[in-house]
Amino acid sequence: MKNIVNVALPKGRLGDKVYDLFEKIGYDCPSIKDPGRKLLFENADAGVRYFWVKPSDVPIYVERGVADVGVAGKDILLEFSPDVYELCDLGLGKCRMAVASKRNFRDDTSRPLRVATKFPSIANNYYRSLGRDIDVIKLNGSIEIAPLLGLSDVIVDIVETGKTLLENGLVPYETVTEISARLIANKVSFKFKNEEIKEIAARAAEAVAKKEASE
Ligand code: PRP
């Protein structure tokens, strides 16, 4: 009898793409496509139970073993450093973490740089590696407005198409790191549901490799 694998999916645009990938590699769960607000879906035949959670909460569910596996952006993993295994890069949700500022910004190195971000750990680590003192200002959204209103000198934020920066008159000038979605696993589940989890990771890696080869 196969173990059911509990999968935490990030709710939203990325999650839809991730579910499509899981469906393609044999872990379909048709009821997930029903309109409505249910958050928990199971297909015992395929051996999966899915639940939709807020993207930044995926590592919490996986770290605590409520989910055996999950999909989280590398941004969330770098920011929160959860104690989980990172099994493979799904090549979805590709974007980058960048430093951006107003076009005429000049860094005054005689004082700490004011950095607005949703990702204070990533920002602190990045500037520590450059030996630059910063004053990190943690925000929860609409980061682009901070330099416009003089709350910060720069932002450290996700850039996907670059449209949000452009429309707010900001320019990206350094890439902190490339981002994409990763398949992660709970460390204990990886022992006890090893066969099932390895099978998911292997099929996902194969599908990703095939897709990348055809692009
Ligand atoms: C992210 C990020 C930018 C935007 C960048 O926000 O914080 O605002 O996407 O995308 P673009 O380069 O394609 O314009 P998100 O949509 O995740 O919303 P949030 O600020 O509510 O987290």
Q: What is the 3-state secondary structure (H, E, C) of 131-160?
A: CCCEEEEECCCCCCHHHHHCCCCEEEEEEC
| Residue 149 to residue 142: CA distance in whole angstroms | 12
pLDDT (average), residues 190-204: 98
What's the pLDDT at 112?
Answer: 98
The residues with which 6 forms a beta bridge, in sequence order, are: 49
pLDDT tens-digit map of 81-139: 999 999 999 999 999 999 999 999 999 999 999 999 999 999 999 999 999 999 999 99
Ligand 1, closest atom to CA 144? 8
Task: Give the distance (Å) from ligand 1 centre to CA of residue 81.
Answer: 21
Express each pLDDT in 37-72 by its tens digit.
888 999 999 999 999 999 999 999 999 999 999 999
Ligand 1 pocket: which of 160, 161, 168 to mutate (most atoms within 8 A of CB): 160
Q: Which two tokens stand for residue 49?
A: 């139970």
Contact yes or no for 151/116 (Cβ under 8 A) = yes
- How many C-beta atoms surround the C-beta of residue 76 within 10 A? 23
Average pLDDT over residues 178-206: 98
User: How close is the Cα of 141 to the center of ligand 1, in Å?
Assistant: 8
Q: Which of 87, 44, 51 is nearest to 66 (CA)?
A: 51
Instruction: Name 109's Cβ contacts closer than 8 Å, sequence gap at least 6.
Output: 132
Cα(150)–Cα(171) distance, integer angstroms:
16
Which residues contact ligand 1 via a Cβ below 6 A? 141, 143, 157-164
In angstroms, what is the span from residue 158 Cα to ligand 1's centroid?
A: 6
pLDDT score of 48? 96
| Alpha carbons 176 and 132: distance in angstroms, whole number | 14
Give the residue, by CA position, lying nearest to ligand 1 atom 22.
Answer: 141
| Secondary structure class of 50 (helix, strand, coil) | strand
- For ligand 1, the distance from its centroid to the CA atom of residue 5, given in whole angstroms, is 31
Q: Determine contact, residues 100/170, Cβ cutoff 8 Å.
A: yes
pLDDT digits (tens, 9 = 90+) for 93-103: 999 999 999 99
Cα(204) to centroid of ligand 1, in Å?
26
pLDDT of res. 1: 65
